[in-house]
A and B are shown apart, each in its own frame.
Chain A
């Protein structure tokens, strides 16, 4: 895919960041408003789609370090999610040990939703990373088949 015109690229430069901010907003307020981790993550992942459409795949792939999405985002999200679940174990798996009853001020800086707040953020981080990776990989998949034959694995017959 080739880069689009200057107007589109400038528009993307401005609005891609707004998508990121909007996605983050949906993630952070996920515990008490419509949306949540998955939805906010999906919105945040449109950042990379904006870039791919406006700047073309060749340039975007040279900017992106997939290890960041793979290890930092995915791992951070997944691990914090399951560790939050594990921490409830003395009572039960996924037990909400940070929650406070309605109307009682939380002793921590966290909202009364407790672990749901953190889990929503964990899911948001995970989905941002995973969906961005899916988009990048699918996009590269198109290029692989159109530009060069696939690399073969060694060791099994064809």
Chain B
């Protein structure tokens, strides 16, 4: 048995097995349950890493569930691929690695953080299920299975957001998220059904090879883009995001950040690999760019006035998603023009993709530090905090790193991805860069505010009993800190080994189609 061949299936099977066995392990007590959660997420991380290594060495990996051989997409001379097909190119592998890191860090953090609550066997199951759903969205090659994994991820997140079910705010946040997700997933189902009705295929690569732009395809595209932009938290449909992120337990928020990136991944997969150059006009790219600009500006301007720490970070998520939409929209705009694509389009896409990685790392870390502060002080209101730096030195250190990275201060990875986006979108219109820079400044302002009020300043009498958080939580945060520092110290390696292959894979529609349909397309 060649392990490399089976990695795409294992990436989904391992967290699913974790989710299914968690209640069984929970019978054996707290230690076994925690060990099951850690083992499932850590093994997922290992599989994601091996898969990324395999894909960067051997090119696009295809996996056919239940076939006589794992790469048999077109059995006995069929014209269209059958069975459930997973397709992993460099972009998918990159996203899966990112998501698996966030999932492992969140699990490590949750061990201590969730210690005080009941019903944890369900927490472990749902957490693994959410991981499986997220990774499934990233590796599936099939539009209907994308919908299935979208639903798996959504339903697991409803339970996790409302995990503190005695808290009315948590129920409200979960209900709001449930409404938005269900509308979005019905949109995806309608779009998949419409395309299936016309082309009789659901495989994205096969559909991409025969797709021609007509009214039906345009309607399906509107449904897909609307639904996925809604789920990744772009501006006009962002209202679920701050609530859901604020009310979920912090370890879960860390994973939810990665899940929203899976929706963004789906959006890009649909735009680049399914439609690609058949889009024809520059209307959709401009819609994505404008969505990005609006998310960036309105997200950050809502964030500046918040004084509840997790809500503030939730609004920052809206604004950070804007950067990725801007970069990827700019890349989509110049996709039909090879010269412009080579001169700045690929840079914009690299910037967007690198920002997806960076955003997942530092935003997940920020939510974990917010959770740590909440664990230690029992409040999420910035007005009630002060002088925590002396009491919680490690948390403070990691918060500073994450805050500097999200604000785009020079040595950190956030700066690199933002710079790539600034310099490439400048070629389209300078105003885009101006909005992006302004957003960055406001982000810095808002995190200076958080740092000043929570960590510096006079020590509050009410917080005199505060201690540093337990080591499990610190370890969870350390995983993400190491990822941020690593990407900051070796920006050239990260760009050339992680980001640029992903950007090239995203642009190369032919390779994505060829992996399933055979070389001669």
A-B interaction: yes
What residues of chain A have their CB less than 8 Å away from a CB belonging to chain B? 70-71, 74-75, 78-79, 82, 85-86, 88-96, 150-158
How long is the Cα–Cα vector from A158 to B68 in the complex, in angstroms? Answer: 56
How long is the Cα–Cα vector from A91 to B83 in the complex, in angstroms? Answer: 15
How long is the Cα–Cα vector from A71 to B167 in the complex, in angstroms? Answer: 28
**1/0 per position for B1-25, CB-CB distance to A under 8 A?**
1000010011001001100110110
**B378 cross-chain contacts in A, Cβ below 8 A:** 156-157
B117 close to chain A: CB less than 8 A: yes
Q: Are A153 and B117 closer than 8 Å at their CB atoms?
A: yes
How long is the Cα–Cα vector from A85 to B14 in the complex, in angstroms? Answer: 12
How long is the Cα–Cα vector from A3 to B152 in the complex, in angstroms? Answer: 37
**1/0 per position for B257-293, CB-CB distance to A under 8 A?**
0000000000000000000000000000000000000
Question: Quick one: given A94-B65, A155-B116, A156-B167, are A89 and B1 in contact (CB under 8 Å)?
Answer: yes
Question: Quick one: given A82-B17, A151-B166, are A70 and B23 in contact (CB under 8 Å)?
Answer: yes
B496 close to chain A: CB less than 8 A: no
**B166 cross-chain contacts in A, Cβ below 8 A:** 150-153
**B200 cross-chain contacts in A, Cβ below 8 A:** none
CB-nearest residue of chain A to B17: A82
Output the least CB separation between B144 and chain A (Å).
16
Q: How large is the interface on B (under 10, 10 to 19, 20 to 34, 35 or more residues)?
A: 20 to 34
5 residue pairs, one from A and one from B, having the closest CB atoms:
A93-B9, A155-B116, A94-B66, A78-B20, A92-B70
How long is the Cα–Cα vector from A150 to B165 in the complex, in angstroms? Answer: 9
B339 close to chain A: CB less than 8 A: no
B146 close to chain A: CB less than 8 A: no
The listed residue (A92, A152, A154) touching B9 by CB distance below 8 A is: A92
How long is the Cα–Cα vector from A29 to B21 in the complex, in angstroms? Answer: 28
Output the least CB separation between A24 and chain B (Å).
23
Q: Are A93 and B17 closer than 8 Å at their CB atoms?
A: no
Q: Select the residue from B27, B67, B118 with max chain A CB neighbours within 10 A.
A: B67
B379 close to chain A: CB less than 8 A: yes
Q: Are A82 and B20 closer than 8 Å at their CB atoms?
A: yes
**B66 cross-chain contacts in A, Cβ below 8 A:** 88, 92-96
CB-nearest residue of chain A to B19: A78
The listed residue (B21, B67, B118, B167) touching A95 by CB distance below 8 A is: B67
How long is the Cα–Cα vector from A116 to B165 in the complex, in angstroms? Answer: 38
**1/0 per position for B62-82, CB-CB distance to A under 8 A?**
011111111000000000000
